[in-house]
């Protein structure tokens, strides 16, 4: 089993371009798995972890409700935002500047074949990272992602998650609010959950800005520990 994960930081990149690149990596892994099954080729499947920061964009999962987007096309254009229906699970999500988006594209046959465990470990990665900043984050029963003050009137979401998996290969991932303009969340019902707020790390810390590169490194360290993986910081061509 190959537990090496190739890290690529794509920087500031358009959502659709990144989605297309994810699909390319995803299909490449699937093709190797199909070849192995048909020909007993015994080829190793690669694993990838993409970091990216998107321009303002709203995405709706395949089971989501378009009514959870509270803006029309003209309003989105005024705010410099785009919209896509996509093939992950979950409802509506916002991505934008100041947010760390992570897309692990893993062959779970290299780790464990359990999507529930996969999501819980991604949540744990974020929870452990936030704890390093003195933030007590947790899960909310029946609601994927990472939250603060669960079970109180002040419950608020700091990290959204939505994944797709086929033949145990994953794509899409998580979006952690760091220095995010939270005003953009007013144009939607986050993840289709009404009456719950959204927050970011800089707001919780009372700081104008948090070092995003520092947060990325902490996330990767916890990812390596939780998945018993080894991160390689170089690009793998497909």
Average pLDDT over residues 18-23: 96
Q: Which of 25, 106, 130, 191 is catalytic?
A: 191
Instruction: Indicate the SS3 state at residue 235.
Output: coil
User: Is this structure's pTM higher than 0.85?
Assistant: yes
Average pLDDT over residues 11-19: 96
Average pLDDT over residues 129-155: 95
pLDDT digits (tens, 9 = 90+) for 179-235: 999 999 988 876 555 567 899 999 999 999 999 999 999 999 999 999 999 999 875
Question: Which listed CATH number (3.30.930.10, 3.40.109.10, 3.20.20.450, 3.20.20.80) goes with 4-232?
Answer: 3.30.930.10
Q: pLDDT at position 181, please?
A: 95
Q: How far apart are CA 161 and CA 89, in angstroms?
A: 9
Average pLDDT over residues 119-133: 98
pLDDT digits (tens, 9 = 90+) for 60-92: 888 788 888 888 889 999 999 999 888 887 788
Q: pLDDT at position 238, please?
A: 47
- Interaxial angle between packed helices 212-227 and 115-131, expressed in degrees from 0 to 180 and rounded to the nearest 10: 140
Chain mean pLDDT for the chain: 92
Provide the pairing of β-strand 197-198 with 156-166: parallel
What are the sequence ranges of the domains in the chain? Answer: 4-232
Instruction: Calculate what percentage of the chain has a pLDDT beyond 90.
Output: 76
Q: pLDDT at position 236, please?
A: 47
140, 155 contact by CB (below 8 A): yes
Q: pLDDT at position 192, please?
A: 53
Beta bridge partners of 231: 5
pLDDT digits (tens, 9 = 90+) for 166-181: 999 999 999 999 999 9
Provide the pairing of β-strand 48-53 with 57-60: unpaired
Q: How far apart are CA 125 and CA 222, in angstroms?
A: 5
From 19-28, 37-46, 125-134, 187-196, the region with the lowest mean pLDDT: 187-196
Question: Any catalytic annotation for residue 159?
Answer: no
Average pLDDT over residues 13-25: 96
């Amino acid at each position: 089993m190959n537990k090496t994960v190739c890290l690529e930081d794509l920087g500031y990149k358009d959502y659709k371009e990144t989605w297309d690149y994810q699909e390319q990596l995803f299909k490449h892994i699937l093709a190797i798995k199909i070849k192995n099954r048909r020909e007993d080729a015994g080829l190793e499947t690669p694993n990838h972890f993409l970091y990216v920061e998107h321009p303002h964009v709203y995405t709706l999962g395949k089971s989501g409700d378009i009514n959870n987007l509270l803006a029309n096309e003209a309003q989105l254009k005024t705010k410099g935002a785009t919209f896509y229906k996509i093939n992950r699970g979950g409802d509506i999500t916002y991505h934008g500047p100041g947010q760390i988006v992570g897309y692990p594209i893993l062959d779970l046959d290299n780790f464990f074949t359990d999507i529930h465990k996969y999501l819980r470990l991604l949540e744990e990665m974020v929870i452990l990272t936030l704890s390093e900043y003195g933030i007590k984050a947790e899960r909310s029963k029946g609601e994927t992602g990472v939250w603060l003050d669960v079970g109180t009137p002040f419950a608020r979401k700091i990290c959204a998650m939505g994944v797709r998996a086929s033949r145990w290969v994953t794509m899409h991932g998580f979006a952690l609010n760091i220095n995010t303009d939270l005003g953009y969340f007013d144009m939607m019902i986050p993840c289709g959950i009404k009456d719950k707020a959204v927050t970011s790390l800089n707001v919780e810390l009372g700081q104008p800005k948090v070092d995003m590169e520092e947060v990325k490194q902490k996330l990767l360290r916890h990812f390596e520990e939780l998945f018993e993986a080894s991160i390689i910081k170089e690009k793998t061509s497909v």
